[in-house]
Chain A
Amino acid sequence: GEDVEQSLFLSVREGDSSVINCTYTDSSSTYLYWYKQEPGAGLQLLTYIFSNMDMKQDQRLTVLLNKKDKHLSLRIADTQTGDSAIYFCPRPGYSTLTFGKGTMLLVSP
């Protein structure tokens, strides 16, 4: 099976909160990342969390890490239409990052 599991699609209304979830099969890495890919563009690092942290807040973004359940989530408060994109939580390995299919977030006005 995949090393990373994410829901494929999420639809929210502008102003609502969005929560994107990710489950790992391996969580031995130092940092865990969230990447954002806007239509027609490359991937950009959105935020990250150090693996010994439970939570990190960065403006509208909140990252939660449950190491026991190997579960990572990204919460976007006050979601805007500009947040419409694909979001990835890659699994870090020793030399590589393994990406899954990502979660497509669609924000409607």
Chain B
Amino acid sequence: NAGVTQTPKFQVLKTGQSMTLQCAQDMNHNSMYWYRQDPGMGLRLIYYSASEGTTDKGEVPNGYNVSRLNKREFSLRLESAAPSQTSVYFCASRGGNTGELFFGEGSRLTVL
């Protein structure tokens, strides 16, 4: 069981470039999430998908799009990256007996 796998782990972009962060989970969970973590701001929810075929905005969705490709995969896309999107991005899935979140190791994105 790999749990939640995120790629890439590190990425440097120039302002205006686009990229997609990939996330996959092998725990057969219905719900998946994208958070960003910034110094002094804690974790903030960008988008989530409560089940395959649905997506919903979180606290900070502007500048991002998501795709729930299938039950396993939930991708986050930056269409035109901005320096304010420099952050550490975490994907998570929710399940288990207690409804806990299982997190990936994070993707560290720098936008110059």
Residues on A lying within 8 angstroms of B by beta carbon are: 30-31, 33, 35, 41-45, 48, 88, 90, 92, 95-102
Given A41-B105, A42-B90, A42-B105, A30-B99 contact (CB < 8 Å) = yes
Point out the residues of chain A lying under 8 angstroms from B104, CB to CB: 42
Size of the chain B interface, CB-CB below 8 angstroms: 27
Whether B101 contacts A45 by the Cβ 8 Å rule is yes
Given A33-B100, A35-B101, A43-B101, 14 more contacts at CB 8 Å? Answer: A30-B99, A31-B100, A33-B98, A41-B105, A42-B90, A42-B104, A44-B103, A45-B100, A45-B101, A92-B99, A96-B33, A99-B35, A100-B42, A102-B43
A-B CB pair tally, cutoff 8 Å: 53
Task: Give Cα A42–Cα B100 distance, bound, in whole angstroms.
Answer: 14
Q: Mark B82-112, 1 if CB is under 8 A from A, else 0.
A: 0000000010101000111111111000000
In the assembled complex, how far is the CB of residue B52 from the closest CB belonging to chain A, in whole angstroms? 14
Whether A42 contacts B45 by the Cβ 8 Å rule is no
B48 interfacial by beta-carbon distance below 8 Å: yes
